Amino acid sequence: MESNEYVISPEQKGRRLDIFLSLTAKLDLSRSQIKKLIEESDITVNGRPAEPSYKVKTDDRIRVAVPPPKEATVKPQEIRLDIVYEDDDIIVVNKPRGMVTHPAPGNHSGTLVNALLSHCGHLASLGAPLRPGIVHRLDKDTSGLIVAAKTDAAYRSLVKQLKERTAEKTYVALVHGVIKQDEGAIEAPIGRHPVNRQKMAVLGNPNIEIRNSKESGQNSKKGKEALTTYKVLKRFEKYTLMEVKIKTGRTHQIRVHFNHLGHPLVGDPTYGGQKDEFGVKGQLLHAEKLKFVHPVTGKALEFEAGLPAEFKKVLQGIGDF
């Protein structure tokens, strides 16, 4: 069991216990995880249990005991898949909105990995235990194309292509507001939100050019390099339909970048901050195209998946589409 102890300085006094610990970079725990540790008496103040709302005082000694992670396993589940391509090495799936890519706290079943294990029988053994074969992911409410590796050799090849940016992912997104420039780039470092650990945010000194930017942005010590390019597909009275490509694969990258521009994705429950006029449950973001080189044959592959019905319905309701 990992144990950490902190002594509160005069500058830190007055903060809630759960907030203080959630901002402690070494722990990298969310407030919900911290609350659970407090409830299980794994966090104490001066040797005694405390409430999450406890206001820390100067010289308080806070002890945090983090239990070792439990052995992770994923069970196969028979769930219908929209398979776009499959062979002995890889499988490409059109993931529906609402499906989580791999098991995580709060989502241990019904995920794409559960379904893939049932359909394929096995996936690459490399990667984290809860996401075998997964080389990239899509957010729960992002629909579209995702590739998984069945073999370790395929996994290594796909990961390398993504890291070297030779694989290409193209998305379609509907954002609030009218973007005047026909195309452009957003280069702004992304990292964990300093207060809400469940969210991501643009950190440091971003270089955002909403025209035809080819310039290199500034990397922040707090955020990782993130580059998004876009092209306007269609403008509506209050919305813009975008073709978006990501050159890096940061968590929530498209959602964070467009929200930072003041054009959040329609339906985004986390970064939207806008009235949802359409009743959609989740951001209108679809991974439409996927290009990469087959890890065994070396053949260039390209796949495309049309917009889901819910996305089309919204577009038809706001204009001639």
How does 224-243 read in b/e, with b if 16+ C-beta sit within 10 Å?
A: bbbbbbbebeeeeeebbbbb
CA-to-CA distance for 135 and 90, rounded, in angstroms?
11
All structural domains of the chain = 2-66 (3.10.290.10), 71-164 (3.30.2350.10), 172-287+311-318 (3.30.2350.10)
CA-to-CA distance for 230 and 40, rounded, in angstroms?
47
CA-to-CA distance for 251 and 71, rounded, in angstroms?
25
Judged by DSSP in three states, 139 sits in: coil
Locus of tokens 């509907």: 174
CA-to-CA distance for 155 and 134, rounded, in angstroms?
8
Determine the Cα angle at 245 with ends 194 and 113, to 5°. 75
How does 283-303 read in b/e, with b if 16+ C-beta sit within 10 Å?
A: bbbbbbbbbbebbeeeeebeb
Q: pLDDT digit string (tens) for 220-275?
A: 446 899 999 999 999 999 999 999 999 898 999 999 999 999 999 999 989 987 66
Stated pTM of the model: 0.74
pLDDT at 215 exceeding the cut of 70: no
User: Are the beta carbons of 246 and 227 closer than 8 angstroms?
Assistant: yes
Torsion of CA 308, 310, 311, 312, to 10 degrees: 80
Q: Choosing from 139, 141, 182, 268, which is the catalytic residue?
A: 139
Looking at residue 303, what is its pLDDT?
98
Residue 240 in tokens: 């813009």
Percent of the chain's residues with pLDDT above 70: 90
The verdict on whether 139 is a catalytic residue reads yes
Q: pLDDT digit string (tens) for 267-319?
A: 998 998 766 678 888 999 999 999 999 999 999 999 999 999 999 999 999 98
